[in-house]
């Protein structure tokens, strides 16, 4: 996989943010790229942008990864167009900002359906083809998959579940040549905070952070492409993320307090 030329890469949730940035970076590596998203207009605009930048072959598949049949459709249309699958980037995801005590449980269900089940469905149907090529399954996760973040119960639950699923998949395939990678970007410039769900499953519509000060989606995508090339096991980006995961192993109570203090200071924090 050091040479990605002509590899077929599926990227879910590629209409914007990290997903679109990944599509551009894989296309620059001369891959054939399949992008998915729920909004046909936005997805088509992203495909045009990727082609304009890279002149790559791009297939867009309008789909919702929380729907099993849509995930099957992604795989079938990819095989029909390109005849194979080498890499699956499970990127589609949604976040939340609300206290569990005030939460409508449909919020957690929606997060699990997209973040966890979307990964499971796409991986299930893509895996036979990826195994033929000893390719890669990648999960775009979060520090929330290592630490139970306050105000993010559903998000952390979905990312912990993703980690467990992909870790088991890796162990099952130690002798098949399958590469499994989990990437935790940390705070990254994207739309995920604007689309994060509130206590009643409505999009927040704004971000509590200064997005311009965060790691760019392009930088995250470059790390992901490099990780696939080098068949890395785990990528944790941003200094804050690396420190949080490391200290969480040895000083979990202290990290809990730091996470609480940090999130409680956000604009429109659920603790206020």
Average pLDDT over residues 33-57: 95
- Identified catalytic residue from 125, 155, 187, 260: 155
- Give pLDDT tens digits for 198-231: 888 887 766 555 555 678 899 999 999 999 999 9
The predicted structure's pLDDT at residue 1? 47
- Does the annotation count 155 as an active-site position? yes
Taking Cα atoms as reference points, which of 19, 13, 57 lies closest to residue 39?
13
In the chain, what are the domains? 8-264 (3.40.50.720)
Cα torsion through 38, 33, 22, 142, rounded to 10 = 60
The contacts of residue 220 (CB under 8 Å, 6+ apart) are: 18, 21, 183, 185, 188, 237
pLDDT at residue 269 in the model? 81
The pTM assigned to this predicted structure is 0.92
The per-residue pLDDT for 226 is: 97
Is the pLDDT at 46 greater than 90? The verdict is: yes
State which H helix or E strand residue 239 sits in. helix 239-250
Q: How far apart are CA 163 and CA 145, in angstroms?
A: 7
pLDDT (tens digit, 9 = 90+) per residue, 82-95?
A: 999 999 999 999 99
Q: What percent of the chain has pLDDT over 90?
A: 81
């Amino acid at each position: 996989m050091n040479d990605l030329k002509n590899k077929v890469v599926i990227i879910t949730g590629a209409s914007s943010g990290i997903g679109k940035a990944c599509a551009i970076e894989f296309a620059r590596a001369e891959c054939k790229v399949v992008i998915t998203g729920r909004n046909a207009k936005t997805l088509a605009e992203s495909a045009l942008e990727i082609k304009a930048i890279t002149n790559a072959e791009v297939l867009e598949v309008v789909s919702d990864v929380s729907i099993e049949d849509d995930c099957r459709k992604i795989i079938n249309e990819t095989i029909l167009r390109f005849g194979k699958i080498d890499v699956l980037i499970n990127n589609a995801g949604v976040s939340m900002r609300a206290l569990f005590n005030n939460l409508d449980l449909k919020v957690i269900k929606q997060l699990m359906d997209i973040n966890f089940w979307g990964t499971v469905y796409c991986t299930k149907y893509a895996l036979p083809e990826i195994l033929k090529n000893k390719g890669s399954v990648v999960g775009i996760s979060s520090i929330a998959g290592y630490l139970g973040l306050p105000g993010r119960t559903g998000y952390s639950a979905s990312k912990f579940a993703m980690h467990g699923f992909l870790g088991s998949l890796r162990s099952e395939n130690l002798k098949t040549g399958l590469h499994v990678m989990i990437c935790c970007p940390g705070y990254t410039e994207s739309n995920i905070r604007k689309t994060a769900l509130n206590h009643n499953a409505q999009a927040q519509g704004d971000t509590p952070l200064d997005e311009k000060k965060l790691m760019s989606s392009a930088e995250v995508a470059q790390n992901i492409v490099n990780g696939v090339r080098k068949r890395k096991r785990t990528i944790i980006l941003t200094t804050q993320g690396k420190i949080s995961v490391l200290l969480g192993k040895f000083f979990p109570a202290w990290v809990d307090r730091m996470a609480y203090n940090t999130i409680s200071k956000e604009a429109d924090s659920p603790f206020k």
